[in-house]
Amino acid sequence: MPLALVRQAAQRRYGKDVSLSAHTSCISKFVRCTRWQQALSHFTLHIIDRADLRPDAVVFGAGISACARGARWQQALHLLSSMPSRSTALNAVVVGATLAACANAGRWQAAWALLSSTTDAVKADIVSYNATINACARGAQWQAALWTLHTARGQRLVASAVSYNSAASGCQRAAQWARALWLLS
């Protein structure tokens, strides 16, 4: 039986593009195995370059997670910004993955700009704030890390151990020991 007939039968039975689900699974497995280059290659070749597939937020999240794993922050921002033109709605997960890409690259300004641009439709959660705090810490921007933590609490988000540890790490990198100890007390 030709592959196209198998795909059509699966689509009738499961009601969605099995091909897209299979590609998403493949990309996610590459990311988990720290093979982000293969994940990005697969994402580009089998998802982005194909006009017949309509990627959803899940598959974009997998591609952006590959960018995060490889600290490919510019590519992550590009994928995120291309989602609306592909009729795919943004959500907190894809924004969080993009923030993680910025954090892994130490691009605190890009993380801050993205976090600041979130709207009520894509409400930033504590994971998004943590990624931004981490980006600030990696960029040795302890004031920005503390301000981001303060802003998260102002949004009535419950700061986690990750929030405080990331902010303390930013203070430690800038030799702001007293502030780091104050955060952890």
What global pTM score does this model have?
Answer: 0.78
Residue pair 148/115 in contact by the 8 Å Cβ criterion: yes
In this prediction, residue 109 carries a pLDDT of: 95
pLDDT tens digit string along 47-73? 666 667 777 888 888 888 888 888 889
In this prediction, residue 49 carries a pLDDT of: 67
User: What type of residue is 5?
Assistant: L
Residue pair 60/23 in contact by the 8 Å Cβ criterion: no
In this prediction, residue 29 carries a pLDDT of: 67
Question: Using CA atoms, how far apart are residues 129 and 126, in angstroms rounded to an integer?
Answer: 5
